[in-house]
A and B are shown apart, each in its own frame.
Chain A
Amino acid sequence: MADNKSLIGTKNKKGQTFTDTWTMMNDAPRTPSFYTGSEVIKEALRRASCDVMIAYPITPQSEAAALIGELFAEGYIGDYFRGESEFAVMSQCAGAAFGGARVFTTTAGPGTMRAMENFPMWSGARLPIQMIVTCRGINSPLSIQPDTLEIAYLLNTGMLVWHAETAQDFFDWILKGYMVSEEPDVHLPLALCCDGFFVTHTKDVVNLTPADMCLPPYDPYRSPVPCMDMECPPVRMMRDPFVMKSNYISYATHASWQQEIWAAVERSRKHTIKWINGLIDTENIDADIMIVASGTAVSQGREAIRLLEDEGIRCGLVKVKSLRPWPEEEIREATKNAKHIFVPEFNVTGWLAKEIKATVPNHHRVHAGPRVCGGMTMPPEIIVQEIKTVLGMKTVSLAGRGS
């Protein structure tokens, strides 16, 4: 079995120092750098002590996946290859994680949907794989444009699901995400989502941690289930395979394991709060009007708040960072004074608004919109218009929107 002594302070083969993650993320000096979101993913991975990355091309994550290949060629990643489809890639990720590796992959839109059967399996097998989801449309006719509908499908897989707003979120959360995922009382996969193109293909100033520091390596023997490497006794895992049994013991076993997965999601709450500084961020929570959003809709919400301020209308903001675990108490508390809650979203069904309606008392306060989809942008003006319309205020019609 691997040596249990701490490697912190020692160097890896690239000369990076294994550093206590809290120190690296919170105390180490940061260098402002001007990067695209894809490049930021690469820079985070450079520091992640990742064992295996498996790639597959699909817009808009192809660039990030290829850049990590360059990291492999430079010797920062243990192994890297292109799989044959997203379904296969997610199974290859599972195999690598079963074998005790820290695993990373990226996907988007139709790829997420193609691979879907794997995700509840990942959670059920307690594999702390990290998957970047650069959201894009999943509808027909074919679209490659940004659209967050796929997140709705991930919410019930038992995975942790976070929604990054900016490239800075991305950089920090990739590294911090492993810390939450790999906790023995969590040990679940993380879907780290962002809005494709808006985050991946735009440049932003991101404060990077030193390139000569990296995360401590993953220790698979802290897993709550045995690592499949024949380094621990190959015990019979059960007296009877439950798959074919139609009896109460079988049902109870499956039921209790499903409950355990969701209990682990709940247990991740305290670690998530610690690492990403709360499940939500808030501004002006004493305002009568609140915008609750996730992803880049938060940025658009901020702009709308600024425009409304110019007109003397005060509006607050809740940025939902973690969707699983779901910040139920936090959202309830942050919106308790609100008379109106607006939920701008980049998808047709309004899945975030539905979650919020199920969370807050007096849910008639929740206005499920504005929503754009299919790759449309969300100018802050349409958020302003939606708010003013609900408030009964006169609005200027926005060209081309049929209003």
Chain B
Amino acid sequence: MSKERIQISEALYDIMPSDYQDLVKSATYGKEDRGWKDIGNSKELIEQHSLCAGCPESMAFRYILASLPNPEDTVMVGSTGCTSLVFPMVAVHNIHSLFGNQNAIASGLKRALSVRFPGRTKDVVVLAGDGATVDIGLDMTLQAWFRQEKFTTICFDNELYANTGGQESGLMQKGFVAKMAPVGKLFDKVRLPEIARESGCHYVVNCTVSKPSLVEKVIRNAVHIAREIGPTYLQLYTPCILEIGKNSMEGLQEMRDSEKPTERFAYKEYVSEPAKQLLAELAAKDKERKAAAKQLAGQA
């Protein structure tokens, strides 16, 4: 898509919703170095949403949408849960179909876009909760990786079923007492990042969303590697403050506490050899581009 496609006919301009007018005026579609720093001085690709006040998931959504390297040609796939309350407000085409089938949808979608737009970049990004990714949809999550489907899978890990009211999930910590785990969860948190690596993902990151610059980096890496090489997986801690008994303002601290070196969301990264090479190439190009811009600025 080019930005021309979203232009508004002059005759209809005044009756278009203001959020759409803002998209046309100042969204960062097509901006090569877009990132989290655009938040606040351009139109974000997310409108008002109905998540709880202070929900870390809403922060994650904003950082991710600001960081997608190619939103004008990106289609996102969601699943059922709190994320499905947000997707209708997102200015990137997105699909919700059923609970847990997101990686199957993305497999078909990516292949259709490749057939229909040969030689053009069309990125596909899955974003779903931990129930969708690890429990009900695990089969389809893994099979898409086995098949080396070229899209990014992002799991918002809040360690429980938030939208249905805080039930046990596979990514919940052992011993946590929750609905459907009345005496505490009896088995360990599923080690999906390791499983992702063994299943063929070329880039795997386990972290929190406390730092927007980090989210930007991992999103860009994951999308670029998925586009060129194969599947990538990001597991992002987005605690459900409601279900772990925290207040609205405590989400950020909860993430900071959980990313300490000994904690379960300490930054962990796996990059395959071909992906390392690609990232090095991209970094070199970026350096070149910046040097050229600097030179140009100097001449001016």
Contact = CB atoms under 8 A, between A and B. Distances in A.
B75 A99 contact: yes
A101 B116 contact: yes
B50 A97 contact: no
Interface string B69-113: 000111101000000111111111111011001001111111111
A84 interface: yes
B94 A228 contact: yes
B94 A91 contact: no
Contact of A101 (B47, B104, B115, B147): B115
Contacts of B74: 230
A232 to B, nearest CB: 7
Contact of A229 (B17, B75, B87, B105): B75
Contacts of A117: 98
Given A231-B5, A236-B47, A241-B50, A100 B122 contact: no
A229 to B, nearest CB: 6
Of the four ranges (under 10, 10 to 19, 20 to 34, 35 or more), the interface on chain A belongs to: 35 or more
For A88, A101, A117, A243, which residue has the most chain B Cβ atoms within 10 angstroms?
Answer: A88
A99 B108 contact: yes
Contacts of A79: 111-112, 114-115
Contacts of B88: 236-238, 240-241
A394 to B, nearest CB: 57
A54 B105 CA distance: 12
Given A100-B116, A228-B94, A91 B140 contact: yes
A208 B234 CA distance: 51
Contacts of A305: none
A398 B111 CA distance: 55
Contacts of A100: 112-113, 116
A241 B84 contact: yes
A91 B20 contact: no
B198 interface: no
Nearest to B46: A236
For A51, A118, A230, A240, the residue with the greatest tally of chain B CB atoms inside 10 Å of its CB is A230
Interface in B117-169: 117, 122, 139-140, 143, 147
Contact of A226 (B50, B93, B139): B93
B1 interface: yes
A79 B109 CA distance: 11
A139 B129 CA distance: 35
A91 B98 contact: yes
B6 interface: yes
A243 B50 CA distance: 12
B19 interface: yes
B263 to A, nearest CB: 32
A99 B140 contact: no
A92 interface: yes
Given A95-B108, A101-B116, A230-B73, A87 B93 contact: no
B140 A228 contact: no
A83 to B, nearest CB: 7
A330 to B, nearest CB: 35
B104 A91 contact: yes
Interface in B1-26: 1, 5-6, 17, 19-20
Contacts of A84: 139-140, 143
A234 B95 contact: no
Given A83-B104, A236-B19, A95 B77 contact: yes
A96 B90 CA distance: 21
Contact of B111 (A81, A88, A91, A230): A81
A51 B116 contact: yes
Given A81-B147, A118-B98, A228-B94, A52 B115 contact: yes
B109 A99 contact: yes
Nearest to B72: A230
B85 A230 contact: no
A234 B92 contact: yes
A231 B121 CA distance: 12
B144 to A, nearest CB: 9
Contacts of B73: 230
A235 B108 contact: no
Nearest to B77: A95
Interface in A1-57: 1-2, 51-52, 54
Contacts of A103: 108, 112
B112 A51 contact: yes
Contact of A228 (B5, B17, B75, B115): B75
Which of B87, B106, B116 gathers most chain A CB within 10 Å? B116
A372 interface: no
Nearest to A79: B111
Contacts of B17: 236
A78 interface: yes
Given A92-B108, A97-B112, A229-B117, A125 B75 contact: no
Given A54-B108, A95-B104, A98-B112, 7 more contacts: A1-B5, A89-B104, A92-B105, A95-B97, A99-B111, A228-B109, A231-B1
Q: Give the top 4 A-B pairs by smallest Cβ distance, nearest first.
A: A95-B108, A99-B112, A91-B104, A96-B108
12 contacts: A1-B5, A79-B111, A84-B143, A85-B139, A91-B104, A92-B105, A94-B97, A95-B77, A118-B97, A226-B93, A229-B75, A232-B5
Interface of A: 1-2, 51-52, 54, 78-79, 81, 83-85, 87-89, 91-101, 103, 117-118, 121, 125, 226, 228-238, 240-241, 243-244
